[in-house]
A and B are shown apart, each in its own frame.
Chain A
Amino acid sequence: MKGADSAKNTLLNEIIKCRACRFCVDACATYQASEGVETMSAYGRLQSLRYLLMGTLDLDDSLVYSLYSCLQCKQCEIVCESKGQSLEICSIIQLGRSLLSQKLEKGESDAAI
Protein backbone atom coordinates (compact mmCIF):
# COMPACT_ATOMS: atom_id res chain seq x y z
CA MET A 1 0.00 0.00 0.00
CA LYS A 2 3.06 2.19 -0.33
CA GLY A 3 1.70 4.09 -3.33
CA ALA A 4 -1.56 4.81 -1.54
CA ASP A 5 0.25 6.05 1.56
CA SER A 6 2.38 8.52 -0.33
CA ALA A 7 -0.65 9.71 -2.29
CA LYS A 8 -2.52 10.15 0.98
CA ASN A 9 0.32 12.18 2.47
CA THR A 10 0.67 14.28 -0.67
CA LEU A 11 -3.04 15.04 -0.50
CA LEU A 12 -2.99 15.95 3.19
CA ASN A 13 0.04 18.19 2.72
CA GLU A 14 -1.57 19.95 -0.22
CA ILE A 15 -5.06 20.34 1.23
CA ILE A 16 -3.74 21.82 4.51
CA LYS A 17 -2.80 24.86 2.39
CA CYS A 18 -6.50 25.56 1.99
CA ARG A 19 -7.37 28.02 4.71
CA ALA A 20 -11.10 27.78 4.13
CA CYS A 21 -11.42 31.36 2.91
CA ARG A 22 -14.37 30.14 0.78
CA PHE A 23 -13.72 32.58 -2.07
CA CYS A 24 -13.92 29.64 -4.50
CA VAL A 25 -17.42 28.71 -3.39
CA ASP A 26 -19.36 31.18 -5.52
CA ALA A 27 -17.30 30.42 -8.62
CA CYS A 28 -18.29 26.75 -8.84
CA ALA A 29 -20.92 25.87 -11.45
CA THR A 30 -22.18 23.00 -9.29
CA TYR A 31 -22.68 25.41 -6.36
CA GLN A 32 -24.76 27.73 -8.53
CA ALA A 33 -26.72 24.79 -9.91
CA SER A 34 -27.49 23.36 -6.47
CA GLU A 35 -28.85 26.71 -5.19
CA GLY A 36 -25.85 27.29 -2.97
CA VAL A 37 -25.03 24.05 -1.13
CA GLU A 38 -21.45 24.48 0.12
CA THR A 39 -20.38 20.85 -0.32
CA MET A 40 -20.72 21.60 -4.05
CA SER A 41 -17.60 23.74 -4.20
CA ALA A 42 -13.83 23.39 -4.23
CA TYR A 43 -13.75 24.28 -0.52
CA GLY A 44 -16.42 21.68 0.24
CA ARG A 45 -14.74 18.98 -1.80
CA LEU A 46 -11.25 19.61 -0.45
CA GLN A 47 -12.39 19.62 3.17
CA SER A 48 -14.52 16.50 2.64
CA LEU A 49 -11.52 14.74 1.12
CA ARG A 50 -9.25 15.86 3.94
CA TYR A 51 -11.53 14.67 6.71
CA LEU A 52 -12.09 11.40 4.82
CA LEU A 53 -8.34 10.82 4.76
CA MET A 54 -8.16 11.73 8.46
CA GLY A 55 -10.79 9.11 9.21
CA THR A 56 -13.51 11.50 10.41
CA LEU A 57 -15.74 10.91 7.38
CA ASP A 58 -16.77 7.71 5.64
CA LEU A 59 -16.82 6.91 1.94
CA ASP A 60 -20.61 7.19 1.85
CA ASP A 61 -23.07 8.35 -0.81
CA SER A 62 -22.70 11.99 0.17
CA LEU A 63 -18.94 11.91 -0.06
CA VAL A 64 -18.93 10.09 -3.39
CA TYR A 65 -21.47 12.58 -4.74
CA SER A 66 -19.30 15.45 -3.60
CA LEU A 67 -16.04 14.18 -5.08
CA TYR A 68 -17.40 12.78 -8.33
CA SER A 69 -19.67 15.71 -9.15
CA CYS A 70 -16.67 17.97 -9.67
CA LEU A 71 -16.62 19.07 -13.31
CA GLN A 72 -12.82 19.43 -13.32
CA CYS A 73 -13.36 22.74 -15.07
CA LYS A 74 -10.77 24.74 -13.05
CA GLN A 75 -12.99 27.77 -12.48
CA CYS A 76 -12.10 27.55 -8.78
CA GLU A 77 -8.38 27.52 -9.53
CA ILE A 78 -8.67 30.92 -11.22
CA VAL A 79 -10.11 32.44 -8.03
CA CYS A 80 -7.70 30.59 -5.74
CA GLU A 81 -4.78 31.88 -7.77
CA SER A 82 -6.09 35.45 -7.82
CA LYS A 83 -6.29 35.29 -4.04
CA GLY A 84 -2.67 34.15 -3.71
CA GLN A 85 -3.25 30.58 -2.56
CA SER A 86 -2.95 28.83 -5.94
CA LEU A 87 -3.99 25.36 -4.85
CA GLU A 88 -4.05 22.87 -7.74
CA ILE A 89 -7.58 21.96 -6.85
CA CYS A 90 -8.43 19.81 -9.86
CA SER A 91 -5.26 17.75 -9.53
CA ILE A 92 -5.96 17.26 -5.83
CA ILE A 93 -9.50 16.05 -6.52
CA GLN A 94 -8.26 13.88 -9.35
CA LEU A 95 -5.60 12.31 -7.11
CA GLY A 96 -8.27 11.79 -4.45
CA ARG A 97 -10.43 10.03 -7.02
CA SER A 98 -7.57 7.79 -8.00
CA LEU A 99 -7.22 6.68 -4.37
CA LEU A 100 -10.94 6.04 -4.08
CA SER A 101 -11.82 4.68 -7.49
CA GLN A 102 -9.87 1.49 -6.88
CA LYS A 103 -11.93 0.89 -3.72
CA LEU A 104 -15.22 1.79 -5.34
CA GLU A 105 -14.59 -0.28 -8.42
CA LYS A 106 -13.79 -3.31 -6.31
CA GLY A 107 -16.88 -2.69 -4.20
CA GLU A 108 -14.89 -2.58 -0.98
CA SER A 109 -17.01 -1.51 1.97
CA ASP A 110 -14.05 -0.54 4.13
CA ALA A 111 -13.64 3.20 3.82
CA ALA A 112 -10.23 3.63 5.39
CA ILE A 113 -7.32 4.43 3.10
Chain B
Amino acid sequence: MNIDPNKLSKNLAKIVGKENVFIDKPTSLVYAKDVMPWDVEDYNLPYAVVRPATSQEVSQILKYANEELIPIHIHGSGTSLIGLARPKAKGIVLDTARMNEIKVFPERGYFEVGAGLHVAKARKALDAYKALLPIFPGSQLVATVGGSVAVNTSAHAVDAALGKPGDYVLGLEAVLPTGEIVQTGTESMRKPAGIELTKFLIGSEGLLCVLTSIRMRLIPLPHLENIVAFYRSTDGILERVMEMYRQRVPAPLFFEFLDEKAAKVSFKAVGLDAPDGAVALMSIHSSSKAGCSEKARDFLDFLKTGNPIEARLVKDDEEWDKIWSSRSEVGNYLYRSGSTFGSEITPRVDKLKDTYHEAKSIILNLESLKNSEFYSYGHIGAPTIHASAFFPTKDIPNETKKALVKEVREKTEELNIKYGGCGAEWGLTGQRISFIKKKYLPSYYDLLIKLKKALDPNNILNRGNLEGWM
Protein backbone atom coordinates (compact mmCIF):
# COMPACT_ATOMS: atom_id res chain seq x y z
CA MET B 1 0.00 0.00 0.00
CA ASN B 2 1.54 3.28 -1.08
CA ILE B 3 0.29 6.07 1.09
CA ASP B 4 1.14 9.68 0.32
CA PRO B 5 1.28 11.22 3.82
CA ASN B 6 0.63 14.72 2.56
CA LYS B 7 -2.47 13.67 0.67
CA LEU B 8 -3.62 11.68 3.71
CA SER B 9 -3.02 14.67 5.92
CA LYS B 10 -5.05 16.94 3.62
CA ASN B 11 -7.98 14.53 3.49
CA LEU B 12 -8.05 14.04 7.25
CA ALA B 13 -7.67 17.78 7.78
CA LYS B 14 -10.87 18.29 5.81
CA ILE B 15 -12.64 16.26 8.51
CA VAL B 16 -11.01 17.43 11.76
CA GLY B 17 -9.11 20.57 10.85
CA LYS B 18 -5.38 20.64 10.16
CA GLU B 19 -4.40 21.31 13.78
CA ASN B 20 -5.86 17.91 14.67
CA VAL B 21 -3.88 15.83 12.17
CA PHE B 22 -0.24 14.91 12.73
CA ILE B 23 2.05 13.28 10.18
CA ASP B 24 5.41 13.95 11.82
CA LYS B 25 7.44 10.99 12.97
CA PRO B 26 7.83 12.00 16.66
CA THR B 27 4.07 12.16 17.13
CA SER B 28 3.60 8.85 15.34
CA LEU B 29 6.18 7.27 17.60
CA VAL B 30 4.77 8.67 20.85
CA TYR B 31 1.30 7.36 19.99
CA ALA B 32 2.56 4.00 18.74
CA LYS B 33 4.62 3.18 21.81
CA ASP B 34 2.89 1.31 24.60
CA VAL B 35 4.01 -0.34 27.86
CA MET B 36 5.44 -3.41 26.15
CA PRO B 37 9.19 -3.36 26.89
CA TRP B 38 10.46 -3.90 23.34
CA ASP B 39 11.24 -1.04 20.99
CA VAL B 40 8.83 0.41 18.49
CA GLU B 41 9.56 -0.73 14.94
CA ASP B 42 8.70 0.82 11.63
CA TYR B 43 5.66 -1.38 11.04
CA ASN B 44 4.15 -0.03 14.28
CA LEU B 45 4.46 3.62 13.19
CA PRO B 46 1.23 5.12 11.81
CA TYR B 47 1.20 7.39 8.76
CA ALA B 48 -0.89 9.85 10.73
CA VAL B 49 -2.44 10.52 14.12
CA VAL B 50 -5.95 11.98 13.86
CA ARG B 51 -7.88 13.56 16.75
CA PRO B 52 -11.65 13.77 16.20
CA ALA B 53 -13.93 15.62 18.59
CA THR B 54 -17.32 14.12 17.70
CA SER B 55 -18.90 10.88 16.55
CA GLN B 56 -19.63 12.59 13.21
CA GLU B 57 -15.92 13.17 12.66
CA VAL B 58 -15.14 9.59 13.69
CA SER B 59 -17.75 8.41 11.22
CA GLN B 60 -16.21 10.37 8.35
CA ILE B 61 -12.75 9.11 9.25
CA LEU B 62 -13.91 5.47 9.23
CA LYS B 63 -15.75 5.90 5.93
CA TYR B 64 -12.60 7.34 4.41
CA ALA B 65 -10.48 4.53 5.87
CA ASN B 66 -12.81 1.94 4.32
CA GLU B 67 -12.64 3.66 0.93
CA GLU B 68 -8.84 3.75 1.00
CA LEU B 69 -8.47 0.44 2.89
CA ILE B 70 -6.25 2.04 5.54
CA PRO B 71 -6.23 0.37 8.98
CA ILE B 72 -7.30 2.44 12.00
CA HIS B 73 -5.90 1.79 15.45
CA ILE B 74 -7.94 3.27 18.33
CA HIS B 75 -5.94 5.08 21.00
CA GLY B 76 -7.38 5.69 24.46
CA SER B 77 -4.55 5.69 26.97
CA GLY B 78 -2.08 3.27 25.45
CA THR B 79 -1.80 1.36 28.72
CA SER B 80 -3.03 -2.12 27.71
CA LEU B 81 -1.04 -4.83 29.48
CA ILE B 82 -1.52 -7.41 26.72
CA GLY B 83 -0.23 -5.21 23.95
CA LEU B 84 -3.58 -4.08 22.51
CA ALA B 85 -2.51 -0.44 22.20
CA ARG B 86 0.45 -0.79 19.84
CA PRO B 87 -0.55 -0.66 16.15
CA LYS B 88 0.42 -3.84 14.32
CA ALA B 89 -0.21 -2.65 10.79
CA LYS B 90 0.73 0.71 9.35
CA GLY B 91 -2.31 2.95 9.19
CA ILE B 92 -3.87 5.79 11.15
CA VAL B 93 -4.01 6.14 14.91
CA LEU B 94 -7.34 7.57 16.08
CA ASP B 95 -6.84 9.43 19.36
CA THR B 96 -10.06 9.71 21.40
CA ALA B 97 -8.72 12.32 23.84
CA ARG B 98 -10.76 15.24 22.49
CA MET B 99 -14.04 13.39 23.17
CA ASN B 100 -13.80 14.18 26.86
CA GLU B 101 -16.96 15.90 28.02
CA ILE B 102 -18.94 14.63 30.96
CA LYS B 103 -22.56 15.61 31.54
CA VAL B 104 -24.34 14.61 34.75
CA PHE B 105 -28.17 14.43 34.81
CA PRO B 106 -29.18 13.83 38.44
CA GLU B 107 -32.91 14.06 37.62
CA ARG B 108 -32.49 11.32 35.00
CA GLY B 109 -30.32 9.10 37.21
CA TYR B 110 -27.46 8.86 34.73
CA PHE B 111 -24.41 10.60 33.33
CA GLU B 112 -22.92 10.64 29.84
CA VAL B 113 -19.18 10.72 29.32
CA GLY B 114 -16.94 11.02 26.27
CA ALA B 115 -14.86 7.90 25.64
CA GLY B 116 -11.58 9.81 25.83
CA LEU B 117 -11.97 11.21 29.35
CA HIS B 118 -9.37 9.94 31.82
CA VAL B 119 -10.93 7.81 34.56
CA ALA B 120 -9.45 9.95 37.37
CA LYS B 121 -11.02 13.09 35.87
CA ALA B 122 -14.38 11.34 35.47
CA ARG B 123 -14.21 10.22 39.09
CA LYS B 124 -13.45 13.76 40.23
CA ALA B 125 -16.42 15.13 38.29
CA LEU B 126 -18.71 12.53 39.88
CA ASP B 127 -17.32 13.15 43.37
CA ALA B 128 -18.98 16.54 43.21
CA TYR B 129 -22.32 14.70 42.96
CA LYS B 130 -21.28 12.11 45.58
CA ALA B 131 -21.65 9.53 42.84
CA LEU B 132 -19.49 6.46 42.31
CA LEU B 133 -17.56 5.74 39.15
CA PRO B 134 -17.58 1.91 39.16
CA ILE B 135 -14.28 1.70 37.26
CA PHE B 136 -11.04 1.10 39.18
CA PRO B 137 -8.01 0.61 36.97
CA GLY B 138 -4.61 1.11 38.63
CA SER B 139 -3.79 3.33 35.67
CA GLN B 140 -6.73 5.65 36.34
CA LEU B 141 -4.67 8.84 35.90
CA VAL B 142 -4.45 8.08 32.22
CA ALA B 143 -6.79 5.15 31.50
CA THR B 144 -9.88 6.26 29.60
CA VAL B 145 -13.52 5.49 30.33
CA GLY B 146 -13.84 4.29 26.73
CA GLY B 147 -10.94 1.90 27.09
CA SER B 148 -12.25 0.60 30.41
CA VAL B 149 -15.66 -0.16 28.86
CA ALA B 150 -14.19 -1.48 25.60
CA VAL B 151 -12.23 -4.02 27.61
CA ASN B 152 -14.88 -4.20 30.37
CA THR B 153 -12.20 -4.52 33.02
CA SER B 154 -12.94 -5.23 36.67
CA ALA B 155 -9.36 -4.16 37.41
CA HIS B 156 -9.01 -3.56 41.16
CA ALA B 157 -12.60 -4.24 42.15
CA VAL B 158 -13.84 -7.57 43.47
CA ASP B 159 -16.50 -8.71 41.00
CA ALA B 160 -18.62 -10.32 43.71
CA ALA B 161 -18.91 -6.90 45.38
CA LEU B 162 -19.21 -4.51 42.45
CA GLY B 163 -19.50 -6.30 39.14
CA LYS B 164 -17.97 -4.90 35.99
CA PRO B 165 -18.13 -1.41 34.42
CA GLY B 166 -20.37 -2.81 31.67
CA ASP B 167 -23.01 -3.73 34.25
CA TYR B 168 -23.58 -0.03 34.85
CA VAL B 169 -23.74 1.01 31.21
CA LEU B 170 -27.26 2.03 30.18
CA GLY B 171 -26.40 2.86 26.58
CA LEU B 172 -23.66 3.73 24.16
CA GLU B 173 -22.96 6.03 21.27
CA ALA B 174 -20.57 4.21 18.96
CA VAL B 175 -19.39 4.28 15.37
CA LEU B 176 -19.33 0.97 13.52
CA PRO B 177 -16.22 0.11 11.50
CA THR B 178 -17.97 1.02 8.26
CA GLY B 179 -18.89 4.44 9.61
CA GLU B 180 -22.52 4.16 10.82
CA ILE B 181 -23.22 5.96 14.08
CA VAL B 182 -25.34 3.86 16.44
CA GLN B 183 -27.11 4.80 19.66
CA THR B 184 -27.75 1.76 21.81
CA GLY B 185 -29.45 0.93 25.08
CA THR B 186 -31.85 3.08 27.03
CA GLU B 187 -32.32 6.33 28.91
CA SER B 188 -34.47 4.64 31.51
CA MET B 189 -33.26 3.16 34.76
CA ARG B 190 -34.15 -0.32 33.48
CA LYS B 191 -31.75 -1.87 31.03
CA PRO B 192 -33.23 -3.65 28.03
CA ALA B 193 -33.72 -7.38 28.21
CA GLY B 194 -33.01 -9.52 25.18
CA ILE B 195 -30.61 -9.37 22.27
CA GLU B 196 -29.60 -5.74 22.53
CA LEU B 197 -26.55 -4.22 20.84
CA THR B 198 -24.97 -2.66 23.97
CA LYS B 199 -23.99 -6.15 25.12
CA PHE B 200 -22.15 -6.84 21.87
CA LEU B 201 -20.16 -3.64 22.00
CA ILE B 202 -19.16 -3.65 25.67
CA GLY B 203 -15.87 -5.51 25.91
CA SER B 204 -15.43 -5.54 22.12
CA GLU B 205 -11.82 -4.34 22.51
CA GLY B 206 -11.99 -1.85 19.66
CA LEU B 207 -12.70 -4.58 17.10
CA LEU B 208 -16.39 -3.95 16.43
CA CYS B 209 -16.75 -0.19 16.95
CA VAL B 210 -15.24 3.06 18.14
CA LEU B 211 -16.96 4.07 21.39
CA THR B 212 -17.58 7.81 21.46
CA SER B 213 -19.97 8.33 24.37
CA ILE B 214 -21.04 6.14 27.29
CA ARG B 215 -24.17 6.52 29.42
CA MET B 216 -23.85 5.11 32.92
CA ARG B 217 -26.04 4.85 35.98
CA LEU B 218 -25.52 7.33 38.82
CA ILE B 219 -24.94 5.38 42.02
CA PRO B 220 -24.16 6.83 45.44
CA LEU B 221 -20.62 6.76 46.79
CA PRO B 222 -20.44 3.96 49.35
CA HIS B 223 -19.03 4.26 52.85
CA LEU B 224 -15.69 2.52 53.23
CA GLU B 225 -13.85 0.96 56.13
CA ASN B 226 -10.33 -0.33 55.71
CA ILE B 227 -8.64 -3.41 57.16
CA VAL B 228 -5.03 -4.57 57.07
CA ALA B 229 -4.06 -8.11 58.00
CA PHE B 230 -0.68 -9.83 58.24
CA TYR B 231 -0.39 -13.60 57.77
CA ARG B 232 2.66 -15.76 58.28
CA SER B 233 2.58 -16.74 54.65
CA THR B 234 0.62 -16.12 51.49
CA ASP B 235 -1.10 -19.46 52.07
CA GLY B 236 -2.92 -17.96 55.05
CA ILE B 237 -4.42 -15.28 52.83
CA LEU B 238 -5.27 -17.73 50.04
CA GLU B 239 -7.11 -19.90 52.56
CA ARG B 240 -9.14 -16.90 53.76
CA VAL B 241 -10.21 -16.06 50.21
CA MET B 242 -11.31 -19.62 49.59
CA GLU B 243 -13.18 -19.71 52.91
CA MET B 244 -14.80 -16.35 52.22
CA TYR B 245 -16.48 -17.74 49.12
CA ARG B 246 -17.23 -21.10 50.69
CA GLN B 247 -18.99 -19.46 53.63
CA ARG B 248 -20.55 -16.73 51.48
CA VAL B 249 -19.06 -13.96 53.59
CA PRO B 250 -19.96 -10.68 51.84
CA ALA B 251 -16.92 -9.80 49.74
CA PRO B 252 -15.07 -6.49 50.26
CA LEU B 253 -15.00 -3.96 47.43
CA PHE B 254 -11.20 -4.26 47.34
CA PHE B 255 -9.25 -7.29 48.55
CA GLU B 256 -5.56 -6.89 47.73
CA PHE B 257 -2.43 -8.61 48.89
CA LEU B 258 1.35 -8.47 48.78
CA ASP B 259 3.36 -11.68 49.10
CA GLU B 260 6.14 -11.94 51.66
CA LYS B 261 8.85 -10.65 49.29
CA ALA B 262 6.86 -7.91 47.60
CA ALA B 263 5.58 -6.61 50.94
CA LYS B 264 9.10 -6.03 52.22
CA VAL B 265 10.11 -4.06 49.12
CA SER B 266 6.98 -1.95 48.95
CA PHE B 267 6.52 -1.21 52.65
CA LYS B 268 10.10 0.00 52.90
CA ALA B 269 9.65 2.11 49.76
CA VAL B 270 6.82 4.09 51.41
CA GLY B 271 8.65 4.45 54.71
CA LEU B 272 6.89 1.73 56.71
CA ASP B 273 8.63 -1.02 58.66
CA ALA B 274 9.07 -4.18 56.61
CA PRO B 275 6.33 -6.59 57.76
CA ASP B 276 6.66 -10.21 58.77
CA GLY B 277 4.84 -12.41 56.33
CA ALA B 278 2.31 -11.52 53.69
CA VAL B 279 -0.08 -8.58 53.84
CA ALA B 280 -3.76 -8.39 52.93
CA LEU B 281 -5.57 -5.06 52.43
CA MET B 282 -9.32 -4.80 52.29
CA SER B 283 -11.86 -2.02 51.79
CA ILE B 284 -15.31 -2.94 53.08
CA HIS B 285 -18.12 -0.99 51.45
CA SER B 286 -21.72 -0.32 52.25
CA SER B 287 -24.35 2.24 51.36
CA SER B 288 -24.93 2.91 55.05
CA LYS B 289 -22.39 3.95 57.67
CA ALA B 290 -23.76 1.64 60.35
CA GLY B 291 -23.94 -1.20 57.87
CA CYS B 292 -20.35 -0.55 56.90
CA SER B 293 -19.12 -0.71 60.48
CA GLU B 294 -21.00 -3.93 61.10
CA LYS B 295 -19.76 -5.50 57.87
CA ALA B 296 -16.19 -4.49 58.72
CA ARG B 297 -16.41 -5.92 62.23
CA ASP B 298 -17.80 -9.16 60.88
CA PHE B 299 -15.09 -9.38 58.25
CA LEU B 300 -12.43 -8.73 60.82
CA ASP B 301 -13.78 -11.58 62.95
CA PHE B 302 -13.77 -13.78 59.88
CA LEU B 303 -10.14 -12.91 59.15
CA LYS B 304 -9.12 -13.66 62.70
CA THR B 305 -10.41 -17.21 62.50
CA GLY B 306 -7.58 -17.73 60.00
CA ASN B 307 -4.88 -17.06 62.65
CA PRO B 308 -3.25 -13.92 61.31
CA ILE B 309 -0.21 -12.39 62.94
CA GLU B 310 -2.35 -9.29 63.20
CA ALA B 311 -5.61 -8.03 61.74
CA ARG B 312 -7.06 -4.59 62.45
CA LEU B 313 -9.15 -1.72 61.18
CA VAL B 314 -7.15 1.24 59.88
CA LYS B 315 -9.02 4.37 60.93
CA ASP B 316 -6.33 6.92 60.16
CA ASP B 317 -6.64 8.12 56.53
CA GLU B 318 -2.97 9.02 56.24
CA GLU B 319 -1.86 5.63 57.45
CA TRP B 320 -4.24 3.91 55.02
CA ASP B 321 -3.02 6.05 52.11
CA LYS B 322 0.53 4.94 52.83
CA ILE B 323 -0.33 1.27 53.19
CA TRP B 324 -2.51 1.38 50.09
CA SER B 325 0.13 3.12 48.01
CA SER B 326 2.64 0.42 48.94
CA ARG B 327 0.34 -2.00 47.13
CA SER B 328 -0.72 0.26 44.29
CA GLU B 329 2.85 1.23 43.44
CA VAL B 330 4.60 -2.08 44.20
CA GLY B 331 4.91 -2.83 40.49
CA ASN B 332 6.83 0.39 39.98
CA TYR B 333 9.13 -0.20 42.93
CA LEU B 334 10.02 -3.56 41.37
CA TYR B 335 10.15 -2.30 37.75
CA ARG B 336 12.40 0.53 38.69
CA SER B 337 15.60 -1.42 38.78
CA GLY B 338 14.68 -4.28 36.53
CA SER B 339 12.15 -5.82 34.18
CA THR B 340 8.97 -7.69 35.06
CA PHE B 341 6.65 -9.89 33.08
CA GLY B 342 3.21 -10.43 34.54
CA SER B 343 0.25 -12.70 34.17
CA GLU B 344 -3.45 -12.76 34.92
CA ILE B 345 -4.74 -16.00 36.40
CA THR B 346 -8.32 -16.31 37.71
CA PRO B 347 -8.82 -19.87 38.90
CA ARG B 348 -11.95 -21.55 40.19
CA VAL B 349 -12.02 -20.33 43.75
CA ASP B 350 -11.64 -23.72 45.44
CA LYS B 351 -8.46 -24.27 43.44
CA LEU B 352 -6.86 -20.95 44.40
CA LYS B 353 -4.08 -22.38 46.54
CA ASP B 354 -3.09 -25.09 44.07
CA THR B 355 -3.05 -22.57 41.23
CA TYR B 356 -0.89 -20.16 43.18
CA HIS B 357 1.82 -22.70 43.84
CA GLU B 358 1.81 -23.96 40.28
CA ALA B 359 2.09 -20.38 39.02
CA LYS B 360 5.07 -19.80 41.27
CA SER B 361 6.75 -22.90 39.92
CA ILE B 362 6.19 -21.80 36.32
CA ILE B 363 7.70 -18.38 36.95
CA LEU B 364 10.75 -19.78 38.69
CA ASN B 365 11.45 -22.22 35.85
CA LEU B 366 11.23 -20.12 32.71
CA GLU B 367 13.25 -21.18 29.67
CA SER B 368 13.62 -17.91 27.76
CA LEU B 369 15.80 -16.42 30.47
CA LYS B 370 17.08 -18.09 33.60
CA ASN B 371 17.05 -16.87 37.18
CA SER B 372 13.86 -14.94 37.39
CA GLU B 373 12.62 -14.02 40.82
CA PHE B 374 8.97 -14.53 41.74
CA TYR B 375 6.73 -11.82 43.09
CA SER B 376 3.00 -11.91 43.52
CA TYR B 377 0.62 -9.14 44.49
CA GLY B 378 -2.80 -7.96 43.47
CA HIS B 379 -6.53 -8.50 43.76
CA ILE B 380 -6.27 -11.91 45.37
CA GLY B 381 -9.83 -11.72 46.72
CA ALA B 382 -11.33 -11.20 43.26
CA PRO B 383 -9.65 -13.75 42.75
CA THR B 384 -6.75 -12.89 40.46
CA ILE B 385 -3.17 -14.12 40.73
CA HIS B 386 -0.78 -11.70 39.03
CA ALA B 387 2.26 -13.95 39.16
CA SER B 388 5.28 -11.98 37.96
CA ALA B 389 8.77 -12.87 36.78
CA PHE B 390 11.35 -10.34 37.76
CA PHE B 391 14.82 -9.80 36.31
CA PRO B 392 17.08 -7.27 38.04
CA THR B 393 18.22 -5.66 34.82
CA LYS B 394 16.82 -3.63 31.96
CA ASP B 395 19.52 -4.93 29.68
CA ILE B 396 17.61 -7.67 27.90
CA PRO B 397 17.57 -7.88 24.09
CA ASN B 398 14.25 -7.04 22.38
CA GLU B 399 13.83 -10.56 21.02
CA THR B 400 14.35 -12.12 24.46
CA LYS B 401 11.77 -9.72 25.93
CA LYS B 402 9.24 -10.84 23.34
CA ALA B 403 10.06 -14.50 24.02
CA LEU B 404 9.67 -13.95 27.77
CA VAL B 405 6.27 -12.30 27.41
CA LYS B 406 5.12 -15.12 25.17
CA GLU B 407 6.38 -17.82 27.50
CA VAL B 408 4.92 -16.27 30.67
CA ARG B 409 1.66 -15.65 28.89
CA GLU B 410 1.28 -19.13 27.42
CA LYS B 411 2.37 -21.08 30.47
CA THR B 412 0.30 -19.13 32.98
CA GLU B 413 -2.73 -19.21 30.71
CA GLU B 414 -2.50 -23.02 30.93
CA LEU B 415 -3.53 -22.53 34.55
CA ASN B 416 -6.57 -20.55 33.46
CA ILE B 417 -7.49 -23.48 31.25
CA LYS B 418 -6.68 -26.12 33.86
CA TYR B 419 -8.57 -24.38 36.65
CA GLY B 420 -11.50 -22.96 34.77
CA GLY B 421 -10.72 -19.25 34.65
CA CYS B 422 -10.50 -16.64 31.94
CA GLY B 423 -8.92 -13.49 33.35
CA ALA B 424 -11.03 -10.42 34.14
CA GLU B 425 -8.98 -7.34 33.48
CA TRP B 426 -6.89 -7.23 30.38
CA GLY B 427 -9.12 -8.47 27.57
CA LEU B 428 -8.96 -11.55 25.37
CA THR B 429 -7.22 -10.48 22.17
CA GLY B 430 -3.66 -9.44 21.41
CA GLN B 431 -1.30 -11.64 23.42
CA ARG B 432 -4.20 -13.79 24.71
CA ILE B 433 -5.44 -15.13 21.38
CA SER B 434 -3.57 -18.42 21.66
CA PHE B 435 -5.16 -18.83 25.10
CA ILE B 436 -8.73 -18.31 23.99
CA LYS B 437 -8.18 -20.62 21.03
CA LYS B 438 -7.09 -23.33 23.46
CA LYS B 439 -9.70 -22.65 26.12
CA TYR B 440 -12.74 -22.17 23.97
CA LEU B 441 -11.83 -24.38 21.01
CA PRO B 442 -11.27 -23.31 17.41
CA SER B 443 -15.00 -23.03 16.66
CA TYR B 444 -15.26 -20.25 19.23
CA TYR B 445 -12.46 -18.30 17.62
CA ASP B 446 -14.02 -18.88 14.19
CA LEU B 447 -17.22 -17.38 15.51
CA LEU B 448 -15.33 -14.30 16.64
CA ILE B 449 -13.80 -14.00 13.18
CA LYS B 450 -17.28 -14.28 11.61
CA LEU B 451 -18.58 -11.57 13.92
CA LYS B 452 -15.61 -9.36 13.11
CA LYS B 453 -16.08 -9.86 9.36
CA ALA B 454 -19.80 -9.11 9.64
CA LEU B 455 -19.20 -5.70 11.19
CA ASP B 456 -15.74 -4.90 9.79
CA PRO B 457 -15.47 -6.53 6.35
CA ASN B 458 -12.26 -4.67 5.48
CA ASN B 459 -10.58 -5.37 8.84
CA ILE B 460 -10.06 -1.68 9.47
CA LEU B 461 -10.27 -1.41 13.27
CA ASN B 462 -7.35 -2.54 15.44
CA ARG B 463 -6.03 -4.90 12.81
CA GLY B 464 -3.69 -7.48 14.29
CA ASN B 465 -5.28 -7.77 17.73
CA LEU B 466 -7.81 -10.46 16.81
CA GLU B 467 -5.09 -12.19 14.78
CA GLY B 468 -2.88 -12.26 17.86
CA TRP B 469 0.04 -10.39 16.29
CA MET B 470 2.74 -9.03 18.53
Contact = CB atoms under 8 A, between A and B. Distances in A.
A60 interface: yes
Nearest to A22: B142
B333 A22 contact: no
A39 B98 contact: no
A58 B28 CA distance: 13
B116 interface: yes
B217 to A, nearest CB: 26
Contact of A22 (B77, B100, B325, B394): B77
B324 to A, nearest CB: 12
Contact of B394 (A17, A20, A79): A17
B24 A62 contact: yes
The size class of the interface chain B forms with chain A is 35 or more
B73 interface: no
Interface string B35-69: 10101100000000001000000000000000000
A54 B42 CA distance: 13
A88 interface: no
A84 B269 contact: yes
Nearest to A83: B332
Nearest to A87: B336
A20 B141 contact: no
Contacts of A56: 25, 29, 40
A48 B27 CA distance: 8
Contacts of A19: 35, 37, 332, 335
B97 A51 contact: no
A61 B100 CA distance: 29
Contacts of B330: 84
Contacts of B336: 17, 84-86
A58 B141 CA distance: 31
Nearest to A56: B29
Interface residues of A, number: 35
Nearest to A43: B30
Given A22-B142, A83-B329, A63 B26 contact: yes
Contacts of B212: none
B98 A36 contact: yes
Contacts of B97: 35-38
B329 A57 contact: no
Nearest to A44: B30
Interface in A70-92: 79, 82-86
Given A26-B118, A79-B141, A57 B332 contact: no
Contacts of B51: 35-37
A58 B329 contact: no
Contacts of B142: 21-23, 25-26
Contacts of A27: 141
A70 to B, nearest CB: 14
B79 A22 contact: yes
Contacts of A16: 394
Contacts of B118: 26
B259 interface: no
Nearest to B23: A62
A60 B25 CA distance: 9
A66 interface: yes
B141 A35 contact: no
Interface string B77-90: 11100000000000
Contacts of B285: none
B26 A57 contact: yes
Contacts of B386: none
Given A16-B394, A20-B34, A38-B31, A48 B26 contact: yes
Interface string B326-365: 0001111101100000000000000000000000000000
Contact of A84 (B30, B37, B139, B329): B329
A63 B332 CA distance: 28
B264 interface: no
Interface in B66-111: 77-79, 95, 97-98, 100
B120 interface: yes
Contact of A39 (B30, B79, B139): B30
Interface of A: 16-17, 19-23, 25-27, 35-39, 43-44, 47-48, 51, 54, 56-58, 60-63, 66, 79, 82-86
Interface of B: 22, 24-27, 29-31, 33-35, 37, 39-40, 51, 77-79, 95, 97-98, 100, 116, 118, 120-121, 139, 141-142, 269, 325, 329-333, 335-336, 394
5 contacts: A22-B77, A23-B142, A35-B98, A58-B25, A84-B332
Given A36-B95, A36-B100, A51-B40, 20 more contacts: A17-B394, A19-B335, A21-B142, A22-B35, A23-B139, A26-B142, A35-B51, A35-B97, A36-B97, A36-B98, A37-B22, A39-B26, A39-B27, A47-B30, A56-B40, A61-B24, A62-B25, A66-B26, A79-B141, A85-B335
